[in-house]
Chain A
């Protein structure tokens, strides 16, 4: 499956999803994205930067080290606002990349996270554009 198709599948699978993208956690930049209602490149960049801050920044590493010791890392961040849910998940096979999903306000953010998690395997093996 191609990456754009895999991201479109994320949009379909995650309840209320507005945007799904892949972020490069080393660069803090978006690599690819799909959106139900185009959110624009800036939004995509901000989400990629946010994924990097929560999962791969020095401060994130420091928090994980405080919680569990050096060499540990959180691999999922769920950020809520009163109206929206953003989920950031490291790809299991490509630890330097993360799935970023933005969804409309949801009573059960765990359902959004679980649905996104269910797509990680497909994203891991998706064919990336040259």
Chain B
């Protein structure tokens, strides 16, 4: 005798099979700008009712795979290419128990992908998630709101997109904002990142992703040095590391107020960058 749950399972299986997309090449996604790509990605998610894995591929080799269902984003399962996506697995795992934090992290990732990807295509496949995955996910409207509230909009996490003139993000400490602006204006690779783990929020002149890779290591070093630095050099600190033989790129790192800026300037830029950082700090103090 067929039980009700068994029948429901059979009906669901039938529906999933019917909803499975036809095999074929990926479809191009409309959108010449980051904003347009973002809207198109959210629209794709919003059209998914039954569980589906969507893979968005950029012409720069970047890729974002996510699971959508009931017009909601359930999970991001793969990301690669854009420097701002570096460390995404750790960042998402850390936010898993906190839906607002997960929403914010997913929004940042989608914005970073849209900003960096160029022309995008999308392909759909049956969901790869187990039936036991029952988390509700996030509505596209909530994602759109979250992306809109990101400090600098969809281009904020772009590393590969053309550089816009730097400007301090709303709420960013002025010292680090001044340093970031000075690095950017001089054409040095620079990243704004979370001071705790070095997760990059925005990068400029970093097409190779080097600063995005260095930022987490710089954050760990700053954390190690912090107790001694607080005692010997109290107050905000900006650190330059150089190799006199020139085998390594110079690295600068300045944490402040939960955010950090990491850059790879030329050694000769030290004085100008120090000045920009100090002026920013002065502006912060004047504002206080």
Contact = CB atoms under 8 A, between A and B. Distances in A.
Given A46-B232, A107-B271, A77 B243 contact: no
Interface in A64-79: 64, 66-68, 72-79
A82 to B, nearest CB: 5
Max chain B C-beta neighbours (<10 A), residue from A47, A67, A79:
A67
B216 to A, nearest CB: 8
B232 A66 contact: no
Given A53-B221, A59-B224, A60-B221, A79 B233 contact: yes
B241 A62 contact: no
Interface string B109-144: 000000000000000000000000000000000000
Contact of B243 (A75, A80, A82, A107): A75
A108 B275 CA distance: 8
B254 to A, nearest CB: 9
A72 B221 contact: no
A41 interface: no
Contacts of A59: 217, 220-221, 223-224
Question: Chain A contact residues (Cβ within 8 angstroms of B): what range?
Answer: 35 or more
Question: Chain B contact residues (Cβ within 8 angstroms of A): what range?
Answer: 35 or more
Contact of A74 (B220, B232, B241, B271): B241
Given A49-B228, A108-B271, A63 B238 contact: no
B281 to A, nearest CB: 5
Given A67-B251, A109-B270, A81 B221 contact: no
Interface in A24-72: 42-43, 46-47, 49-50, 53-54, 57, 59-60, 62-64, 66-68, 72
A44 to B, nearest CB: 9
A84 B64 CA distance: 46
Contacts of B214: 63, 66-67
B247 interface: yes
A76 B225 contact: no
Given A66-B214, A80-B237, A53 B224 contact: yes
Interface of A: 42-43, 46-47, 49-50, 53-54, 57, 59-60, 62-64, 66-68, 72-84, 86, 89, 92, 102, 107-110, 113, 117
7 contacts: A50-B229, A59-B221, A68-B249, A79-B238, A82-B236, A82-B282, A86-B232
